[in-house]
Amino acid sequence: MSKKFVERITGMEEDFAQWYTDVVTKAELVDYSSVRGSMIIRPYGYALWENIKNELDRRIKETGHENVYMPLFIPESLLQKEKDHIAGFAPEVAWVTHGGAEKLAERLVVRPTSEVLFAEHYKNIIHSYRDLPKLYNQWSNVVRWEKTTRPFLRTLEFLWQEGHTCHETDEQAQEETVKMLDEYAEICEKFLAIPVVKGQKTEKEKFAGAKHTYTIESLMHDGKALQSATSHHLGDGFAKAFGIQFLDRDGKQQHVQQTSWGFTTRIIGAMIMVHGDDRGLVVPPRVAPTQIMIVPIAQHKEGVLDFVYEMKERLSDKFRVGIDASDKKPGWKFNEYEMKGIPLRLEAGPRDIEQNQVVLVRRDTGEKLSVSMEGLDETISSVLEEIQENLYEKARKHREEKTSVALTFAEFKEQLENKAGFIKAMWCGDQRCEDKIKEETSATSRCMPFEQEKLGDKCVCCGKEAKHMVYWAKAY
């Protein structure tokens, strides 16, 4: 064979950043493009995104939202209408200045997000309280001109969904914002087996132009945090800037209350860094493009291929099943599918056929199980559920082990230096303390969790009266 038996993956503890790069490329999730910071999402990587997208799209529709599509380009004058918004995104926008050989009369922005496009549209279609709520979502790509890039985690172009809704009251918008954050948390925890902390961003960290920003934060294997999704209560800022008004139930003109919320391909990076190991990917069964890979043993012997293909046909009614009947050696196949993180490998050879059994190999633990062909479907269902639950529980324990409490700034610095992970600490609410913590430690506020704990009375930074318990961490 021209290809190496198995290409080496750098050890996680040896060089975590290189380990990540090795995994995303050697497991054939992405390839690099000729444009700096842009990625080609290969079939296996895109199949992961499709499974995530399909599950989330189902949930979005079940909560009453409709899918739409907005233009890729935004006129500069439109983006300028909401000053806080443009100020927040200005460093990251990509500009189109020419159409063919002609210079454009007005520059166009390649959308970094679509709040202003939705606002312009809503102004035209909302007139009365009877037009509300408007619950729209779009699946699209966006462009943000990042300085430092890494596949999935931070790229110039990425895929996402962005929900944009309009409501009669502030209370309704607030309810929508939290409801969609809960949907994101469910996707992460129940589908991707990633435990998250739900909470509110500080004023410094909130979305440009938002009234409040809510987030789900997850912790990676190396102890760094990752913002996994956000949901924004926009209030009436965009509505006032764009004149989105409606006649209320008392016959008075009011501005709508808006929300926006988004979930991106970045979550694939989170899945890799939460569950992966030194052999490569570990993919939770519910999101796995292939849940079971069948590898025939001694396939040249009579009856083996017939047996495994019949088994594949039987199992395909319930599971996503692949089969590798190529002429590669079984050991090569084992390593290949372990590197790709396929949850369950199924091996069958002449001896297994004689005994009416197959061998199941779990990717998460490496455990081998010889199981009878009778009741095989039920056995596989049970094992896949065990793998899903085990991955979540393992990630949850890892997060708890890497979560510390700091009561003083000295403790904060010491813990951050000696034990990467989340630090829970009290905060006075003053941005100057938040800035000082970031400047001196590189840690940022991740969120003020909904489940508040009173760890003490004083701010970890300045010693003044504390107002919030905050999760802090170095982050991607």
Rounded to 10 deg, the angle between the 376-401 and 304-315 helix axes is 70
Per-residue model confidence (pLDDT) at position 347: 96
| Whether residues 199 and 262 fall in one domain | yes
How many whole angstroms separate alpha carbon 144 and alpha carbon 92? 5
pLDDT digits (tens, 9 = 90+) for 302-330: 999 999 999 999 999 999 999 999 999 99
Q: Could you tell me if 331 and 302 lie in one domain? A: yes
pLDDT digits (tens, 9 = 90+) for 153-186: 999 999 999 999 999 999 999 999 999 999 999 9
Residues 252 and 338 in one domain: no
d(CA 154, CA 307): 45
CA dihedral sign, ordered 343, 396, 475, 12: negative
165: tokens are 């809704």
CA 72 to chain centroid: 22
308 with 241, same domain: the answer is no
- Side chain identity at 429, as an amino acid letter? G
The CATH code of the domain that includes 311 is: 3.40.50.800
Its pTM surpasses 0.75: yes
Q: Is residue 352 part of a domain?
A: yes
Residues 135 and 224: beta-carbon distance below 8 Å: no
Q: Share the mean pLDDT of the chain.
A: 95
Is the pLDDT at 438 greater than 80? The verdict is yes
- How sure is the predictor about 301, in pLDDT bands with cuts at 50, 70 and 90? very high
In this structure, are residues 343 and 292 in contact, taking their beta carbons and an 8 Å threshold? yes
Give residue 279's pLDDT band: very low, low, confident or very high (50, 70, 90). Answer: very high
The answer on 234 and 142 residing in a single domain is yes
Asked whether residue 193 falls in the same domain as residue 124, the answer is yes
Residue 375 has pLDDT above 90, yes or no: yes
Residue 7: the pLDDT is 61
Final residue of a structural domain among 244, 275, 306: 275
Report d(CA 378, CA 192) in Å as an integer: 22
Q: Strand pairing partners for 158?
A: 142
Tally of domains in the chain:
3
Query: Which of 351, 383, 415 corresponds to the end of one domain?
Result: 383
448 and 330 co-located in one domain: no
Question: What is each CA distance from 168 to 66, 129, 144, 266, in whole angstroms?
Answer: 18, 7, 32, 33
My answer on whether 126 and 40 are in the same domain is: yes
CATH number for position 456: 3.30.110.30
Which H helix or E strand runs over 240? helix 237-242
DSSP E strands, 201-264 = 212-219, 225-235, 245-247, 253-255, 257-264
Residue type, 210: A
Structure letter (DSSP) for residue 131: G
Q: Are residues 441 and 375 in the same domain?
A: no
Spatial separation of the C-alpha atoms in residues 99 and 105, rounded to whole Å: 10
- Rounded-to-integer distance, Cα 447 and Cα 341, Å: 31
The Cα–Cα gap between 154 and 148 comes to 7
In degrees and rounded to multiples of 5, residue 98 shows phi and psi of: -130, 145
User: How large a percentage of the chain has pLDDT more than 90?
Assistant: 94
Q: Are residues 32 and 60 in the same domain?
A: yes
User: Is the domain of 255 the same as that of 345?
Assistant: no
pLDDT of residue 86: 73
Residue-wise pLDDT for 70-128, tens only, equals 999 999 999 888 777 777 778 899 999 999 999 999 999 999 999 999 999 999 999 99
User: What is the structure's pLDDT at 24?
Assistant: 97
Domain that holds residue 308: 292-383
Among 275, 301, 336, give the residue marking a domain's end: 275
Question: What DSSP line would sit under 364-381, residue for residue?
Answer: TT--EEEEESTTHHHHHH
pLDDT score, position 3: 43
Domain assignment of residue 389, yes or no: no
Q: What is the mean pLDDT of residues 191-210?
A: 96
Q: Which residues contact 101 (CB under 8 A, 6 or more apart)?
A: none
CATH at residue 196 = 3.30.930.10
Of 215, 228, 113, which Cα lies nearest the Cα of 163?
113
Give the pLDDT confidence of 221-252 residue by residue, as tens digits: 999 999 999 999 999 999 999 999 999 999 99
Average pLDDT of span 34-51: 97
Task: Report pLDDT for 244.
Answer: 98
Per-residue confidence band for 440, with pLDDT thresholds at 50, 70 and 90: very high
- Within-domain flag for 390: no
Q: Per-residue pLDDT tens for 320-365?
A: 999 999 999 999 999 999 999 999 999 999 999 999 999 999 999 9
In this structure, is residue 415 part of a structural domain? Answer: yes
pLDDT bucket at 1, cuts 50 / 70 / 90: very low
Q: How far is CA 435 from CA 46, 226, 310, 404, 431, in A?
A: 38, 19, 63, 21, 6
> Are 269 and 323 in the same domain?
no
Q: Are 181 and 229 in contact (CB under 8 A)?
A: yes
The pair of structure tokens assigned to 382 is 């049970």
Residues 201, 371: Cα–Cα separation, whole Å: 49
